[in-house]
A and B are shown apart, each in its own frame.
Chain A
């Protein structure tokens, strides 16, 4: 299983751009990089997924360098409601199925 490493926590002021980097040195060729967001007392929610270069949706952007050994989730102009835990996942098993193994994630606190 590809292991991921993320900062345990981050603080940011409202309105700023937040970048959360995930390290996955042992990422496999078949692995996609997926990010989830979890609010207190709720299940995780899919944010974005990518394989290489850059992916953007209405919520976030995901930057993946050519070697794919890391990825950066970018949240533009965060608000208080973006306070949550963010998880980076890169697990695909030998059959090609996604196991969706979560690490400890990054706890983002947005400050007024």
Chain B
């Protein structure tokens, strides 16, 4: 069975442009996470979904970031407009449920804003 699939793998954009990342979690996984990881740092949680409901988005910069998980399966994270400081790796993860600490991560999308 395929793991968590993310696309694109790499993205280079100019500042002020929009960008979107897509995540397909493992089938049957109700919980979906989006993380941002800066170089040399641990992953920082941006938002967590339980099915289609965003239950923790306190770390999501809502002025420029948005996310959705339609039908409780795939998810999209969007940045509009992008800033230089948004350059990072964006990781998606999924787990069976909210009480499960074993999350499976995708390979991430490396975003470079120039």
Contact = CB atoms under 8 A, between A and B. Distances in A.
A42 to B, nearest CB: 6
A111 interface: no
Interface residues of A, number: 24
A23 to B, nearest CB: 16
Contacts of A105: 42
Given A93-B56, A97-B99, A43 B42 contact: no
B66 to A, nearest CB: 20
Contacts of B4: 43
B109 to A, nearest CB: 11
A87 B33 CA distance: 17
Interface in B53-104: 55-56, 91, 93, 95, 98-104
A34 B100 CA distance: 10
Q: Chain B: interface residue count, which band?
A: 20 to 34
A112 interface: no
Contact of A104 (B35, B41, B103): B41
Name the prevailing secondary structure of the A interface residues: loop
A81 interface: no
B101 A49 contact: yes
Nearest to B105: A43
Given A43-B91, A43-B93, A93-B56, A99 B105 contact: no
Nearest to A45: B105
Interface of A: 32, 34, 41-46, 49, 85, 87, 89, 93, 95-105
Please provide the 8 A-B residue pairs with the shortest distance between their CB atoms, ordered closest to farther.
Answer: A43-B105, A102-B42, A97-B98, A34-B101, A46-B102, A102-B43, A98-B101, A43-B91
25 contacts: A32-B101, A41-B107, A41-B108, A42-B105, A42-B108, A43-B91, A43-B93, A43-B108, A44-B91, A44-B103, A85-B42, A89-B101, A95-B98, A96-B98, A97-B55, A97-B56, A98-B100, A99-B45, A100-B45, A100-B93, A102-B35, A102-B43, A102-B44, A102-B45, A104-B42
